[in-house]
Amino acid sequence: MKQEIPAAVMAELRNAYPLTDEQLHFYQKNRFIKLKQVFSETTIRFFNACISQKVAELNTDTTDLAERTTYGKAFLQLFNLWRSDPDIRELVFSRRLAQIAADLMQTTGVRLYHDQALFKEAGGGITPWHADQFYWPLETDRTVTAWIPLQHTPLDMGPLEFSAGSHRIVAGRELAISDESEQKIGEKLRVTDFAHVVEPFDSGEVSFHSGWVFHRAGANTTDQMRKVMTVIYMDKDMTLKNPENDSQRNDWNTWCPGAQIGAVIDTPLNPVLFSRI
């Protein structure tokens, strides 16, 4: 049953978060940005509670951490929570987040690709270096992921680490999240002059990164769950490309079923969340 979302939280989800020219330039250059006070402590507490409850309800992975693959140790991963919880839908469909995504990508609007909760358990391992768009059958790089920590996230909890400007590197784009991607992409990045940025996240701070920028996350060495909600946006005029690997074929069938190669991805799972026209 839908809870009563506090009026102040609903207002925050609907109100714009204006970006400065300096912030827009930073994103265009580096293809990531961290923005403080996107959400208030009240909003973070509300969604921490309802997303945590939904993750606990839907998670079926009971395998011990020690027995999992590197990918499995990185996080518990649950998708499209907006479809099973009306409160979470309000966050995922937030005009505030969607407008930030459109502003950063410099598009006239954005569609939803999908959402995912990424909960890194106490003792959870690293998330290896990777570029998200390896998995996506999308024609252009006009994509952006909002990474929303549901608590203050210190370094020992495993916040995101970005290789600033690394979207210009082609080598490594063919690698899924794995020990191999951690090694090969890490080696490549070590011989470039791209700055590696890893910082704590304040409560209410949100990062945004493009599909081809390389990023990773450290292990969670605390005794607390690192709770993160993500929303992946794409240009509202994004078209489906011919998938290049099995992961992209799976994403086509899962996140944009019925979309046609070469056509705009306009399906019931990919609504327009913000448009200027």
Confidence (pLDDT) at 74: 74
Answer yes or no: is pLDDT of 185 > 80: yes
Answer yes or no: is pLDDT of 220 > 50: yes
For residue range 254-276, what is the model confidence (pLDDT) as tens digits? Answer: 999 999 999 999 999 999 999 99
Answer yes or no: is pLDDT of 1 > 60: no
Instruction: Tell me how far apart the alpha carbons of residues 98 and 225 are, in angstroms, rounded to a whole number.
Output: 27
The H or E element that residue 41 is part of is helix 41-58
7-272: CATH homologous superfamily?
q2cbj1_9rhob like domain (2.60.120.620)
For residue range 231-260, what is the model confidence (pLDDT) as tens digits? Answer: 999 999 999 999 999 999 999 999 999 999
Instruction: Tell me how far apart the alpha carbons of residues 204 and 182 are, in angstroms, rounded to a whole number.
Output: 29
Instruction: Tell me how far apart the alpha carbons of residues 230 and 79 are, in angstroms, rounded to a whole number.
Output: 9
* Average pLDDT of span 199-223: 97
Instruction: Tell me how far apart the alpha carbons of residues 132 and 150 are, in angstroms, rounded to a whole number.
Output: 21
Answer yes or no: is pLDDT of 203 > 80: yes
Domain residue ranges of the chain, discontinuous segments joined by +: 7-272
Mean pLDDT for the chain? 95
Q: What is the CA angle 118-178-259, rounded to 5? A: 65
Percent of the chain with pLDDT over 70: 99
For residue range 24-52, what is the model confidence (pLDDT) as tens digits? Answer: 999 999 999 999 999 999 999 999 999 99
pTM: 0.94
112 close to 92: Cβ distance less than 8 angstroms:
yes
251 close to 257: Cβ distance less than 8 angstroms:
no
171: nearest Cα among 192, 155, 150: 192
19: nearest Cα among 119, 103, 145, 125: 103
* pLDDT range class, residue 2, cuts 50, 70, 90: low
Confidence (pLDDT) at 189: 86
Sign of CA dihedral 189, 184, 119, 28: positive
